[in-house]
Each structure stands twice: as C-alpha cells, then as structure tokens.
Amino acid sequence: MKSLLEVRAKGMPMTDRDGQDADDRFGAALGQVLEVAILINEDMTKGLARDGLTEPRAHLVWELSQRGPSTQRVLADALRVSPRNITGLIDGLVATGFVTREPHPSDRRATLVTFTEQGTRAAAKMAADHREFAELLFAGMSDAQFDGLVAGLDVVLARLRAAVAAAWGDSTTSDEEVERP
C-alpha cells in the first residue's frame, strides 16, 4: 500500500509522561480504526490489481461511472488532482481498454471520456464488490451492535469533518466541488 494509515495501526506505547489516561483507551480505539482502514485498503487494492486496475485508475473509473461521460476537466475536479494528471491516467485507461476519448459535441477543445464495454463491466464489478464487502463486514451483527457501531462512527465522523474543516478549507466529503462565494 502506501497509505499513511499504516503508520500506526497498533496502539501507542504510552509514555505516561503526564500520567493522564494511563490505560490509553483512546489510543487503542484509534489503532482499531487505523487497522480497519489499512486492511480494507489492502483488500481493495489487491482485488483491483487482479482486474488490471491501479488505485488511481480505479478511482477514476468509479467517478466516471457515477457521472457518465465527462470531460477531463470535470474528472480532475472530482478527483482533486491536476488536469495534467488526468491526461496521464486516461492515457493508461485507454491503452488498457477501459475507456475511450470521444469528441465533445459542442466544445471542440474538450473530449468526453467514455466507457468501453470492458470499462462498464469493471465499474459494475466494483459496485458489486462494494456491496459484497459491506455484507461481509456487517451481516449477521445484532441490531444493537450494528447501531452502536454506526452511532459511534457518526460521532467520530462529525468531529473529523469539523477538524479537517477547521484546519484547511472545507470540502467536506473529499469529492465535492470546490465552491466559495
């Protein structure tokens, strides 16, 4: 992988410098969250490699499947990378047969990135895998347990969003358009 998440999956060795909170429940919980993130990412990445997709390309495929044929500019904004980088990713996806570049009907500068049949299949598989994966993780949990988990995640998520928003500009979900009055 690559993700920084991997950096500290296992609990901190507690320096207990100032002695507060010596059992470190919070650190352990953070460790859990990080490990979940690592494992999910690992699983996804390896699965994608089997289908001939790298992470950035898969991300692009996913966005494309949600938006339909798009200009590279739109994709760049969606993935929050430079337009130049999209050119390279599309080059790769074209070379491996997932998408094609079609002329934009009303703007001759732009191209419409469009799925091939293989691309459509890949996107559908990603969606199916997502469902299956959610099932694997949560199916069969008691309602109480599941609800407790979701409620906890809600709190964490809210705090996380607030923290990120406070530290840098907003863009809450990480794939929103940047809009500022």
Partner DNA sequence: TACACTCGTGAAGGTACTTCACAATGAAGA
Partner DNA sequence: TCTTCATTGTGAAGTACCTTCACGAGTGTA
Alpha-carbon gap, residue 83 to 6, rounded angstroms: 29
172 binds DNA (CB under 7 A): no
Other Cβ atoms within 10 Å of 98 Cβ, number: 27
| CA torsion angle 32 5 81 175 (round to 10) | 10
Of residues 62-121, which lie at the interface with DNA (CB under 7 A)? 71-73, 76, 81-90, 92, 101, 104, 106-111
49 binds, among DNA, a copy of itself, none (CB under 5 to 8 A by kind): none
Q: Which does 94 bind (CB under 5 to 8 A by kind): a copy of itself, DNA, none?
A: none
Q: Which does 158 bind (CB under 5 to 8 A by kind): a copy of itself, DNA, none?
A: none
Q: What angle, rounded to 10 degrees, do the helices at 55-67 and 83-95 form?
A: 90
Which residue's CB is nearer to a copy of itself, number 55 or number 94? 55
Q: Tokens at residue 136, please? A: 């694997």
Choose the contact partner of 71 out of a copy of itself, DNA, none; CB within 5 to 8 A by kind. Answer: DNA
Q: Which is nearer to DNA, 27 or 69 (CB)?
A: 69
Q: Contact at 8 Å (CB) between 14 and 27? A: yes
Residue number, 101 or 175, with CB nearest to a copy of itself: 175
Which contacts qualify for 145-152: CB closer than 8 Å, 24 or more apart?
none
Contacting positions for DNA (CB under 7 A): 2, 54-57, 71-73, 76, 81-90, 92, 101, 104, 106-111
